[in-house]
Amino acid sequence: MAVLSEEQSMLRDAAKSWVQEKSPVTAFRKMRDSGAELGYDANAWNEMAEMGWAGVIIPEEYGGSNFGYLSLGLILEELGRTLTASPLLASGLAAASALILGGSEAQKSTWLPKIAEGTAVGALAIDEGAHHAPEKATAVVAGGKLTGKKTFVLEGMAADILIVSAKGPDGLGLFLVRSDDPGVARTRLHLADSRGAANIEFKNAQAEALSGGAELIEKVLDRARAGVAAEMLGSAVQAFETTLDYLKVRVQFGQVIGSFQALQHRAAKMFTDLELSRSAVEAALAAIDADSPDVPELVSLAKAKMGDTFHLVSNEMVQMHGGIGMTDAHDAGFYLKRARAAEAAFGNQAFHRDRYARIQGY
Amino acid sequence: MADFGGADLDAFRTEARDWIAANFPAGLKGRPNPMMREERTAPSADQEAWRLAMGEKGWGAPTWPAAYGGGGLSGGEARIIQQELNKAGAYNPIGGMGVMMFGPTLLEYGTEAQKQEHIPAIVRGDVQWCQGFSEPGAGSDLASLQTKAEDKGDHFLINGQKIWTSGAQFADWCFCLVRTDTSKKHEGISFVLFTMHQPGVEVRPIKLISGNSPFCETFFTDAVAKKSDLVGPLNGGWTIAKRLLQHERSGLSGAGGGGGFFGMQKPLETLAKEYVGVDDKGRISDADLRTRIIQNLIDTRAFQQTAVRAMMEAKGNSGPSAATSIMKNAGTRVMQDRAELTLEIMGSQGLGWEGEGFTGDEIAAVRGWLGGKATTIYGGSQEIQSNIISKRILGLPDLTNNH
């Protein structure tokens, strides 16, 4: 893992401890079994907010700690290990980024402190179909009112504010809509990975423009993508470690199955891919913190690479556990389901491979 | 890469730049290192002058102790020399197995007399070394080697055969693993040195599928090694061999994980645009090929990022990064995939062996594709690397009786 500053090490260690003590995978299972409306445990979210996690990328003048995206990525990675559900990515990363990069002073001072405290939740509403296609947004804003349909809005049911992509008088841009506006109708989606999401229909909902147009959308999306990739890294690493532990204890044919070379080599392949993916994810987060012009290509690299790796590891977790990997009682199914949802979020591997090439001119 | 020096290193950089400017023959600027070519012809006057100058200065082995002719410099200063050589379009004329792996090992395990005798000649580039390790029956299972060394009092008599001896046809000396006890596997191996220029040593280059012969079979019939050239204790050679292989692996990692470069220099996407074409949106017109090119470029980039990360972690943390164990497999895979894609891109122009109808680059691509198949076999095969990762890094059980 990257060489960390003292602050970053402390943040990561704090996240590790909290996750181990307060949010093991059993907490996710409990949330799922309770049919949680929100898609996360509100008490757990309060604890995270109290530790300052929702304000990690928010400037201090708005109540945040301004530690940056790599720091937030370290926290997201730890949460990803145990599939901990929360609006941290949607709100503390994505919505906050939109406001920081494109919000007016009034929008920032109204919403960022609440987002940092965890008392308001923001969510990004970009896609309108089954596949990520941000440039194809057809929602419209006319006379300050937004009309259109958005799909697969992560944490859409929990959100107090929605950051919506739509075509305004100046072209494509992001708009802030309050979810309690009478023109907003939300339908809860019951996803395979039990996380919160909604389809949302807007009819003349009051919309405040953020400035930055289509460029702002890409910048915010790249930050969201990097955040998802960081969470995926944690989930994939944990899925691998759990599987590795199983290889060391399960006995068949008079020996531990981890002594069979075919399984050893498959484990070595996963380890290799995880190390490569870690490099790509950390490089993308560092580039965002440095505001590098390479952010788009490094983010697409990270999302594509991480997606392929988590895809492989999630499949191998089920397969290598044999029959018990197929039971709901085992955690393997959770990691498999989360993997596909995370792969699809903000552009899957194919989307990002294509984007990587387009950015480089081929 | 950050260096941690300040004014001292700046002064050294000036010194290095000035010395290179004064001693590097202008006619060699930008020319490749003649040692990298497999055919060795007699060196030109310029090449020889450059070798002598660098040899005398000790900058060909900059971090080796000055007592044996090395530069006696720090890692930071060595990096500066490399940077300034690059800037001047100059190659390091001192190289080979002696520098890469044998010299560092001898500095750790050799007696004072052995170091005095052998190190200075390596530093000057006067003596080239070859590695007598693998045998037809001892490749991945190197410790099963059978070449015997019989104790004759003040010397050993060596009988047997080595294979895959790189550069044996040009080597002056050999560092060799021999069996001095047939009753024990690992504890029956000794590490000896001897001159290649003796009647008992016969070298036969092996022609490879790529058409060239970088490796040889080496036959020993009563070849002589002096007792004073036994490195380390009798039957204690395996430990030294393992250390030397670590040096070899670091050296290969420095060259891109053993993937190095085989074949074409042009970026894949540029080649594809030339040989395959683009659609009306400027994308490579074969969508299937395009996707596979992108995948290779992404994997290559992630590999390069990992090399940087491993280096930063080795400096910043308490030891080598776990990431280093994956480098050879990851690097050779992307290089081999790239070579296959290069052939595919070139279509029937990627099937040439030599002669008319093919450009030099096209032929080089084919030869490079073939030669590159060796990289997942030598220096610890892909399968052995996977075993190392799974057993030593991941802690999976070892039920074979190996060391």
B298 touches chain A (CB under 8 A): yes
Asked if B316 lies within 8 A of A3 by C-beta distance, the reply is: yes
Q: According to DSSP H, which parts of A51-104 are helical?
A: 69-81, 96-102
- In CATH, the number for domain A215-360 is 1.20.140.10
What is residue B166's predicted lDDT score, i.e. its pLDDT?
93
Residue that wins the pLDDT comparison between B40 and B216: B216
Contacts of A258 in chain B (CB under 8 A): 396-397
What is the band of B259 on the pLDDT scale with cuts at 50, 70, 90? Answer: very low
Q: Domain end: B241, B273, B290, which one? A: B241
Residues B42 and B157 in one domain: no
Residue B230 lies in a domain: yes
The answer, yes or no, to whether residue B258 has pLDDT greater than 50, is no
Distance CA A256, CA A234 (A): 27
CB pairs under 8 A between A and B: 121
Is residue B248 part of the annotated active site? The answer reads yes
Residues B211 and B308 in one domain: no
Q: Which residue has the tokens 């060239």?
A: B212
CB within 8 Å of B319: residues ≥ 6 apart? none
Q: Domain end: B207, B241, B275, which one? A: B241
Q: Give the model confidence (pLDDT) of B315-328 as tens digits.
A: 776 667 778 889 99
Residues B263 and B352 in one domain: yes
CB B128 within 8 A of CB B172: yes
Contacts of B387 in chain A (CB under 8 A): 261, 264-265, 268
Greatest alpha-carbon pair distance for chain A in Å reads 74
Structure tokens at B382: 């892909």
CB A278 within 8 A of CB B322: no
Query: Which residues pair with residue A164 across a beta bridge?
Result: A125, A175
CB B55 within 8 A of CB B98: no
Contacts of A280 in chain B (CB under 8 A): 301-302, 305
E strands in B152-206 = 155-166, 173-179, 189-195, 201-206
Secondary structure of residue A352 in the 3-state scheme: helix
Q: Where are the domains of chain A?
A: 6-117, 122-211, 215-360
* Number of other residues whose CB lies within 10 A of the CB of residue A214: 17
Between CA A226 and CA A230, with CA A229 as vertex, the angle to 5 degrees is 90
Q: Could you give phi then psi for residue A48, rounded to 5 degrees?
A: -60, -45
Nearest Cβ partner for A282 among B303, B309, B396: B309
Distance CA A183, CA B134 (A): 77
Structure tokens at A154: 């992560």
Which of B52-66, B191-205, B311-325 is the least confident region?
A: B311-325
Q: Give the model confidence (pLDDT) of B132-154 as tens digits.
A: 999 999 999 999 999 999 999 99
What is residue A39's predicted lDDT score, i.e. its pLDDT?
93
Residues B151 and B230 in one domain: yes
% of chain B at pLDDT higher than 70: 93
What is the band of B401 on the pLDDT scale with cuts at 50, 70, 90? Answer: low
Structure ipTM: 0.86
DSSP string, A282-296: HHHHHHHHTT-TTHH
Question: Is domain A122-211 in CATH 1.10.10.2840, yes or no?
Answer: no
Distance CA A122, CA A112 (A): 10
* Number of other residues whose CB lies within 10 A of the CB of residue A12: 18
Residue B103 lies in a domain: no
* Number of other residues whose CB lies within 10 A of the CB of residue B32: 9
DSSP string, B322-339: GGGGGHHHHHHHHHHHHH
Return the CATH number at B332.
1.20.140.10
Q: Give the model confidence (pLDDT) of B240-255 as tens digits.
A: 999 998 888 777 665 5
Nearest Cβ partner for B298 among A244, A267, A304: A304
Nearest CA-CA distance, residue A179 and chain B, Å: 39
Nearest CA-CA distance, residue A226 and chain B, Å: 15
Nearest Cβ partner for A271 among B294, B315, B393: B393
Nearest Cβ partner for B294 among A261, A272, A353: A353
Contacts of A248 in chain B (CB under 8 A): 395-397
Distance CA B338, CA B335 (A): 5
Distance CA A87, CA A350 (A): 26
DSSP H or E run through B220: strand B215-226
Distance CA B277, CA B291 (A): 15
Mutate to test the interface with A, among B280, B294, B381 (most CBs of A within 10 A): B294
Residues B183 and B233 in one domain: yes
Q: Could you give phi then psi for residue A10, rounded to 5 degrees?
A: -65, -45
What is residue A62's predicted lDDT score, i.e. its pLDDT?
98
* Number of other residues whose CB lies within 10 A of the CB of residue B328: 27
Asked if A362 lies within 8 A of B383 by C-beta distance, the reply is: no
B386 touches chain A (CB under 8 A): yes
Distance CA A281, CA A7 (A): 19
- Which of B261, B271, B195 has its CA nearest to residue B226? B195
Q: Which residue has the tokens 């090929």?
A: B289
Distance CA A151, CA A307 (A): 21
Structure tokens at A83: 């599939």
What is residue B2's predicted lDDT score, i.e. its pLDDT?
42
Q: Which long-range contacts (CB under 8 A, 24 or more apart) does A29-35 make?
A: A29/A331, A29/A334, A31/A85, A31/A194, A32/A194, A32/A334
CB A174 within 8 A of CB A319: no
Task: Determine if residue B350 is left, alpha or beta; phi over 0 gives left, psi from -120 to 50 gives alpha, anything else beta.
Answer: alpha
If you compute the radius of gyration of chain B from its CA atoms, what whole number of angstroms results?
Answer: 23
Nearest Cβ partner for A305 among B291, B298, B313: B298
The answer, yes or no, to whether residue B256 has pLDDT greater than 80, is no
For domain A6-117, the CATH architecture is: Orthogonal Bundle (1.10)
What residues in chain A have their Cβ under 8 A from chain B's Cβ atoms?
Answer: 1-3, 244, 247-248, 255-256, 258-259, 261, 263-265, 267-269, 271-272, 275-280, 282-283, 301, 304-305, 350, 353-354, 356-358, 360-362
Asked if A279 lies within 8 A of B269 by C-beta distance, the reply is: no
Asked if B396 lies within 8 A of A264 by C-beta distance, the reply is: yes
* Number of other residues whose CB lies within 10 A of the CB of residue B224: 18
Annotated catalytic residue: which of B77, B84, B135, B248? B248
B140 touches chain A (CB under 8 A): no
Asked if A265 lies within 8 A of B383 by C-beta distance, the reply is: yes
Nearest CA-CA distance, residue B1 and chain A, Å: 14
With CA atoms as reference, the chain B residue closest to A299 would be B298
Distance CA A193, CA A186 (A): 19
DSSP H or E run through B46: helix B45-57
Nearest CA-CA distance, residue A233 and chain B, Å: 14
What is residue B5's predicted lDDT score, i.e. its pLDDT?
52
Structure tokens at B70: 């090395």
With CA atoms as reference, the chain A residue closest to B296 would be A353
Structure tokens at B331: 């690097």
Q: Give the model confidence (pLDDT) of B333-348 as tens digits.
A: 999 999 999 999 999 9
With CA atoms as reference, the chain B residue closest to A247 would be B396
Residue B110 lies in a domain: no
What is the band of B3 on the pLDDT scale with cuts at 50, 70, 90? Answer: very low
Question: Strand pairing of B148-151 and B155-166?
Answer: antiparallel
CB A65 within 8 A of CB A55: yes
Residues B74 and B164 in one domain: no
Return the CATH number at B142.
2.40.110.10
Contacts of B295 in chain A (CB under 8 A): 353
What is residue A77's predicted lDDT score, i.e. its pLDDT?
98
With CA atoms as reference, the chain A residue closest to B392 would be A268
CB B149 within 8 A of CB B192: yes
Residues B182 and B90 in one domain: no
Distance CA B310, CA A243 (A): 25
Q: Packing angle between helix A69-81 and helix A261-289, nearest 10 degrees?
A: 150
Between CA A95 and CA A103, with CA A97 as vertex, the angle to 5 degrees is 85
Tell me if domain A122-211 and domain A215-360 are identical in fold.
no
Structure tokens at A150: 């958005």
Nearest Cβ partner for B389 among A268, A350, A354: A268
Nearest Cβ partner for B306 among A263, A268, A276: A276
B212 touches chain A (CB under 8 A): no
DSSP H or E run through B224: strand B215-226
Query: B 242-281 residues with CB below 8 A of A?
Result: 269, 272-273, 278
Q: Which residue has the tokens 């073939």?
A: B370
Number of domains in chain B: 3
Asked if A280 lies within 8 A of B295 by C-beta distance, the reply is: no
What is residue B91's predicted lDDT score, i.e. its pLDDT?
93
Nearest CA-CA distance, residue B265 and chain A, Å: 18
CB B178 within 8 A of CB B189: yes
E strands in chain A = 122-125, 140-142, 145-154, 161-168, 171-178, 184-188, 197-206, 208-209, 251-252, 255-256
Distance CA B204, CA B168 (A): 8
If you compute the radius of gyration of chain A from its CA atoms, what whole number of angstroms results?
Answer: 20
What is the band of B265 on the pLDDT scale with cuts at 50, 70, 90? Answer: confident
Residues B233 and B278 in one domain: no
| Residue range of the domain that includes B23 | 7-94
Mutate to test the interface with B, among A249, A275, A313 (most CBs of B within 10 A): A275
The pLDDT profile of chain A, 362 residues, written as one tens digit per residue, is 788 999 999 999 999 999 999 999 999 999 999 987 889 999 999 999 999 999 999 999 999 999 999 999 999 999 999 999 999 999 999 999 999 999 999 999 999 999 999 999 999 999 999 999 999 999 999 999 999 999 999 999 999 999 999 999 999 999 999 999 999 999 999 999 999 999 999 999 999 999 999 999 999 999 999 999 999 999 999 999 999 999 999 999 899 999 999 999 999 999 999 999 999 999 999 999 999 999 999 999 999 999 999 999 999 999 999 999 999 999 999 999 999 999 999 999 999 999 999 999 99
Nearest Cβ partner for A280 among B302, B317, B389: B302
Nearest CA-CA distance, residue B219 and chain A, Å: 35
Q: According to DSSP H, which parts of B73-157 are helical?
A: 75-87, 97, 103-109, 112-124
Q: Domain end: B94, B113, B146, which one? A: B94
Secondary structure of residue B270 in the 3-state scheme: helix
Asked if A356 lies within 8 A of B295 by C-beta distance, the reply is: no
Residue B123 lies in a domain: no
User: How far is the CA of B325 from the CAs of A266, B329, B386, B392, in angstroms?
Assistant: 15, 9, 9, 9
